[in-house]
Amino acid sequence: MKKILVLFLFTLIYQTSFSQSRTNKVIPKFEESSPEIKKAVGWALNNTTGKWIENANCIFQSEVSKYTISMIPQNFNWIKINKIIYNELTYYVFLYETNSGRYKYPSIKKDWEVEKQMQFLLLSDGEYSSLKEEINKQNGLEIKISSKLHGYFSDRYNVLGGENIYNEENLIARIVKVIENPDYFEYCILLNSQKVDNLDVIRFKLPNNSCSLKKNYLENEYFEISRIEFLKMFIY
């Protein structure tokens, strides 16, 4: 009888230990969000003519139309910085929406399909502070901040619903995934702060993975915006 009672209690304890409620993973929210930058002039020096080409919100060596902008890597609809806290660590998310796309039949480069992407690159608290300090120096030197915490979220599969819906909640879920699983390769933000014709300006390029391959990366192509407008994007 004692053996039966012991066996019963053991079975009860065993079942209880594995009878836990289902709980969803806790996903953080953005603590703060800066105003958006929606306009910046893209400048590129044409290699053939030697002339500077100007485009709105896009960098390319010829004039870009609304039909071809999605084929140009350096373009944006808006840029902002959001603050997020995860596992008691603070991150600043350099976030921007870009026009992108891909071929339906890539092997023959046929049927280009346009999509929007929210691209992001995360900076630590220290990296963010360093970036602000370097900008305030206005010495015209190249400023580079690199990070393995980067990714994007596309509206390509928005119609499928669920985690594919192009919204902030699903964006944050992808940001958390990147924090937990950093990339092997780094992306970096490149910019400089200087005076041009007695105007305080910022020249920059959107984050990419090739800024370590050559020097004077901002010499022949960059976005340009007034320093005042650029600093509106920063969270203090």
Q: Total domain count for the chain? A: 1
Q: Is residue 236 part of a domain?
A: no
Q: Is residue 69 part of a domain?
A: yes
Q: What is the pLDDT of residue 8?
A: 46
Q: Is residue 216 part of a domain?
A: yes
Q: What is the pLDDT of residue 215?
A: 67
By residue range, what is the domain housing residue 189?
2-231
Q: How many helices (H) and strands (E) does the chain have?
A: 4, 11
Q: Is residue 168 part of a domain?
A: yes
Q: What is the pLDDT of residue 47?
A: 94
- Along the 236 residues of the chain, how does pLDDT read in single tens digits? 555 544 444 454 445 555 567 888 888 999 999 999 999 999 999 999 999 999 999 999 999 998 899 999 999 999 999 999 999 999 999 999 999 999 999 999 999 999 999 999 999 999 999 999 999 999 999 999 899 999 999 999 999 999 999 999 999 999 999 999 999 899 999 999 999 999 999 999 999 886 665 667 899 999 999 999 999 999 88
* Neighbour count for residue 133 (Cβ, 10 Å): 10
Q: Is residue 42 part of a domain?
A: yes
Q: What is the pLDDT of residue 66?
A: 87
Q: What is the pLDDT of residue 11?
A: 53
To which H or E segment does residue 30 belong?
strand 30-33
DSSP labels for 183-195? -SS-EEEEEEEEE
For the entire predicted model, the pTM comes to 0.87
Residue 57's Cβ-side half-sphere holds a number of Cα atoms within 13 Å equal to 17
Cα(163)–Cα(178) distance, rounded to whole angstroms?
A: 15
* Closest among 188, 206, 79, 203 to 138, alpha carbons compared: 203
Task: Give buried/exposed letters for 26-63 (b at 16+ CB in 10 A, else e).
Answer: eeeeeeeebebbeebebbbeeeeeeeebebebbbbbee
Q: What is the pLDDT of residue 70?
A: 95
